[in-house]
Amino acid sequence: MLRVAFVSVHGCPNAKLGSKEAGGMNVYVRKVAVELGKLGMQVDIYTRYHGDSDNLVEYLADKVRIIHINAGYPHLAKNQIYDHLEQFTRNTIAYARSENIEYDLVQSHYWLSGRVGQLLSESWDIPHVTTFHTLADAKVRSRSGEHEPEVRFESENNIIKSADLVVAFTDHERQLMARYHNVDPLKVEVIPCGVDTDLFNPIDRNVAKEKLGISASRVALYVGRIEPLKGLEILIRAVTQIHSDEGLSLIIVGGDPDADEEIIRLKQIILALRMESSISFIGAVDQQELPLYYNASDVLVIPSYYESFGLVALEAMACGIPVIASRVGGLPTTVKDSKTGYLVPWRCPDPFADKLQIILNNQSIHDAMSRSAIELSLQMKWSKVAEDLAEAYATLIGRSSD
């Protein structure tokens, strides 16, 4: 039986989605680990201890555990964690030794975890698989004003070169790695993300609205972290251009409405535009509640400057909700232009407003996109992701034993 160590230093799979450091990566780690467990693998997810309520070990599913490792103050910001990676590594090795555990392979998630994955691979003499979820080079080139520490660029370059296998979500991401890091494309396996169609599926819109207490006739939705890279100001200004007799409400799910600097900035813009009655910030919600928000909406909008994949697009599509998204990163892999929604090549309000008008004012277009969205999502389940990943593991371990 294969035993795999997942490393997700800053992203606990049990974190509430939409909070400051919790998004698609947390969902990915959780869902893939559970599906690998169903295939018979033992999966331990090593993440940082981040609060007094954490148990050292939590059982996520049969054969799948979350193991919280002490490494620095529990509530460190992500940019403070790098200095504690060696402590995290030492404590991870000590825990595995105390439990007499031997792993066949380690898979790291994000560049911080990638450094730990390198050290564990050397210590345990096992293959290292890495998944970045986003690349620094792609991020800083996507929007003026984006900055990343130099150590991240250096680390990603070293991790890509030393890893035995790199898992990318799209061919676009694989091409970026070849361009920025001169990596052999054959070393990169493209395995797209998946969606839980048991959780995310269509329900009656009026029922969803009633459960959430939404009275607006037309609803546009945003789901995700709240930061400048996500382009929410573009969406807010686009909504001000929408002319609808029935009225339009924009609901923003994610972040902390009372504390996040970006939300405070956006609220000032909304106040200046006199749109405060039409735009609401919900904050982070549990994943089990997300299907209600998708199904209560007419359209999901992702105005990001960059997304490596855009998992929320796939979740919305599984609920039958058309998606308007920036034509960036991995979003064209998920959103099929004019079929499951629209891809917008410009990062400005006008084209987003135009596409919103089309979907909101043409029921036949909305319904056709809804049907196509559901059909596509059914082909992209987490079980398929796990099967493809397990096949890549088997090939890699077979090569390592030769």
260 confidence band (pLDDT: 50, 70, 90): confident
382 confidence band (pLDDT: 50, 70, 90): very high
Tell which wins on pLDDT, 247 or 71: 71
**CA pair distance 121, 400, nearest whole angstrom:** 12
* pLDDT tens digits along 131-175: 998 887 877 887 777 788 899 889 989 999 999 999 999 988 998
Tell which wins on pLDDT, 54 or 290: 290
User: Which CATH class for the 3-194+381-401 domain?
Assistant: alpha beta
pLDDT at 239: 93
pLDDT at 136: 77
* pLDDT tens digits along 191-226: 999 999 999 999 999 999 999 999 999 999 999 989
**Domain 205-377, CATH number (from 3.50.50.60, 3.40.30.10, 3.40.50.300, 3.40.50.2000):** 3.40.50.2000
* pLDDT tens digits along 340-358: 999 999 889 999 999 999 9
- Helix (H) / strand (E) element for 343: namely strand 341-344
17 confidence band (pLDDT: 50, 70, 90): low
Is the separation of the CB atoms in 26 and 47 below 8 Å?
A: no
Start-to-end Cα distance in the chain: 19
The residue whose two tokens read 């620094």 is: 136
Instruction: Say which residues have a Cβ less than 8 Å from residue 17's Cβ, sequence separation at least 6.
Output: 23, 26, 27, 254, 284, 285, 286, 287, 290
- Helix (H) / strand (E) element for 48: namely strand 42-48
pLDDT at 21: 55
The residue whose two tokens read 């371990």 is: 397
Residue burial 49-87, b: 16+ Cβ < 10 Å; e: rest: bbeeebeeebebeebbbbbbbebbeeebeeeebbebbee
Within this chain, domains 3-194+381-401 and 205-377 share the same CATH topology: yes
**CA pair distance 357, 330, nearest whole angstrom:** 25
Q: What is the mean pLDDT of residues 37-59?
A: 88
For residue 272 the two structure tokens come to 């200046």
pLDDT at 104: 96
> Is residue 366's pLDDT more than 70?
yes
**CA pair distance 161, 235, nearest whole angstrom:** 38
pLDDT at 294: 98
Q: Domain ranges in the chain? A: 3-194+381-401, 205-377
